Amino acid sequence: MRTQVGIIGAGPAGLLLSHLLSLQGIDSVVLERRDRDFVEQRVRAGVLEHGTVQTLREAGVAERLDAEGMVHEGLNVRFGGRTHRLDLEELVGRCVTVYGQQEVVKDLVAARLEAGGDIRFGAEGVAVHDIDGERPRITFVDGDESTELVCDFIIGADGFHGISRGAIPGLDEYERTYPYSWLGILVEAPPSCPEVVYARHDRGFALHSMRSAHVTRLYLQVAPDADLADWPDERVWAELHTRLSDNEGFALTEGPLLDKSITPMRSFVATPMQHGRLFLAGDAAHIVPPTGAKGMNLAVADVRLLSHALGGYYHDRREDLLAAYTEEASRRVWRATHFSWWMTSILHKSPGADVFDDRLGTTQLEWIASSRPAAAALAENYTGLTYDRGWSYR
């Protein structure tokens, strides 16, 4: 088999890149380890930055997003029993849209298949070869058949646990772990207020988000080694009621659980994001803790750059845009890494934290609640950096 760009992973990064390339007349094949159903049902992110929505619109895959996505002009920060609303639109002239990652994935899979795109679900044993030469190859098992895909370029969009990153020699990796995890539930119940709520409480962090007018998404800070077996639904609800309460009458609506899972928190940056003809995108190269809602947005930003750079290569034989990929992508990655770390540190309660630690957290929340420049700094990062160039080369 032969293609121009071989893409490993059918998450938001791999699927969107495949679509952006096809709009520029560049062929790709996407190899995905899991089946279609699994990829489309996986519950994950929910907050799309302004620029992510714009990219999906420009790519022509935002029809359902525009109809069903919930535009949020503000967000709430809750601490000390009080709720402070940040008016994102008024502070920085941009908002975010709440729309499930799995919905983005469904829309992209549908768009690829409708355009005749090649996505191989259930591809096993994926391995990359000859990335230093001009004809890199990917081998994999498709059904019972061993297959070889010869490419011009390989994109590793296979997430944090994928195989691509390991193929880059001499990679530097920077990592921070956090002394807590998030327990997330998806609930069949209307959201208890119209916007996202980030709550700092003495018992730990809690988050109220949503997926639609009928589905709520909630998270709780739990111990890093927490076991779902120790978190029966009643305990989860009791803790959510306590941590999300305020002195202003907030009442949390309960409902049947549709999903329940625990996610560890990690910051991770690998560099360089490229070697020879292999380029990493999204979680394959970097992970942020979910507190800043940046992971999927960074994946989209990476593939915007790659789409533009690959367009430059195929249309004008330009190699400079590809050569600049790590440097360009890293600027946004490190900004989001700092923002996510900062949001995490001011909103969570670390085990063993003393009064000094607590006051460092609350003084920053008080500052955000009382100072317009501080609120604007949060809003600018939360809604996302703007893009200085398009995803398309032409």
What does the binding site for ligand PHB look like in residue numbers (CB under 6 A)? 45-47, 196, 207, 209, 217, 290-291, 293
Q: How far is the CB of 315 from ligand RFL (least distance, A)?
A: 25
CB closer to ligand RFL, 83 vs 209: 209
CB closer to ligand RFL, 31 vs 321: 31
Q: How far is the CB of 31 from ligand RFL (least distance, A)?
A: 5
Nearest to 281 by CA among 262, 309, 319: 309
Q: Which of 12, 191, 289, 290 is catalytic?
A: 290
For 232, the 3-state DSSP assignment is coil
Count Cα atoms within 13 angstroms, Cβ side, for 193: 22
CA distances from 222 to 44, 98, 203, 263 (A): 18, 24, 10, 10
Q: Which residues bind ligand RFL (CB under 6 A)?
A: 8-14, 31-34, 39, 44-47, 101, 123, 126, 157-159, 161-163, 182, 184, 263, 282-283, 290, 293-297, 299
Tokens of 110: 């549908």
Q: How far is the CB of 272 from ligand RFL (least distance, A)?
A: 17
Q: Assign residue 204 a region: left if phi > 0, alpha if psi is -120 to 50, beta otherwise?
A: left
Task: Tell me the C-alpha distance between 131 and 274, whole Å.
Answer: 10
Q: Is 290 noted as a catalytic residue in this protein?
A: yes
Q: Is 382 noted as a catalytic residue in this protein?
A: yes
CB closer to ligand PHB, 17 vs 196: 196
Please check whether residue 13 is in contact with residue 52, taking contact to mean a CB–CB distance below 8 angstroms.
no
Q: Which of 12, 19, 50, 72 is catalytic?
A: 72
Please check whether residue 209 is in contact with residue 45, taking contact to mean a CB–CB distance below 8 angstroms.
no
Tokens of 123: 């591809």
Q: How far is the CB of 161 from ligand RFL (least distance, A)?
A: 6
When CB distances are held under 5 to 8 angstroms depending on the partner's kind, the choice from ligand RFL, ligand PHB, none that residue 129 binds is none
Q: What share of the chain is helix, strand, coil (3-state, %, to 5)?
A: 40, 30, 35
Q: Which residues on neighbouring strands pair with residue 188, listed in sequence order?
A: 215
Q: How far is the CB of 194 from ligand RFL (least distance, A)?
A: 17
When CB distances are held under 5 to 8 angstroms depending on the partner's kind, the choice from ligand RFL, ligand PHB, none that residue 291 binds is ligand PHB
CB closer to ligand PHB, 244 vs 309: 244
Count Cα atoms within 13 angstroms, Cβ side, for 343: 27
Q: Is 260 noted as a catalytic residue in this protein?
A: no
Q: CB nearest ligand PHB: which residue?
A: 46
Would you please indicate which residues are annotated as catalytic (active-site) residues? Answer: 72, 198, 290, 294, 382
